[in-house]
Amino acid sequence: MANPMKIRARADGDLVEVKVLMAHVMETGQRKNQAGELIPAWFIQRVEATYGNRTVLSAQWGPAISANPFLSFKFKGGAKGEKVRITWFDSKGETRTDEVVIG
C-alpha cells in the first residue's frame, strides 16, 4: 500500500481550503530503464474528495501529472471539526484513502 497522503484543511468562514500531497511514482509508460526497456505506466487516474456524504471534488488525471502530486482546492459549506476524505485510484487498481479534520 502507498504511503499516507499529507493533508491540511482550514476553514475560513464557510470556505474550506484543502491541500494534499500524494506519494505516488506516476510513471508515464514512456521512460526506459537502464536495460532500454520501457517502464510500464503506473499513475493516479482519479481523485475524489468528500465532505460528509457530498463529493466536493472529482478529478480525472493522466500520465502527464508529476510524481508525488500536489493538489489544492476550495469548497463551500465545510465546518471546523468535521472531516474531509481524499481517495485516489491508480492505473494498477490500487487505491488510497486518507482523511483530515478541518481546522
3-state secondary structure of 6: strand
Is the CATH number of domain 6-101 2.60.40.10? yes
Residue pair 100/83 in contact (Cβ under 8 Å)? The answer is yes
Q: How far apart are CA 26 and CA 49, in angstroms?
A: 20
pLDDT band at 2 (very low <50, low <70, confident <90, very high): confident
Whole-model pTM: value is 0.92
pLDDT at residue 33 above 60?
yes
CA angle, corner 66, sides to 2 and 47, nearest 5? 55
Residues 6+ positions from 34 with CB-CB distance below 8 Å? none
* Grid cell for residue 81: 471539526
Share of the chain above pLDDT 70, in %: 99
23 grid coordinates: 506519494
Q: Where do the domains of the chain lie?
A: 6-101
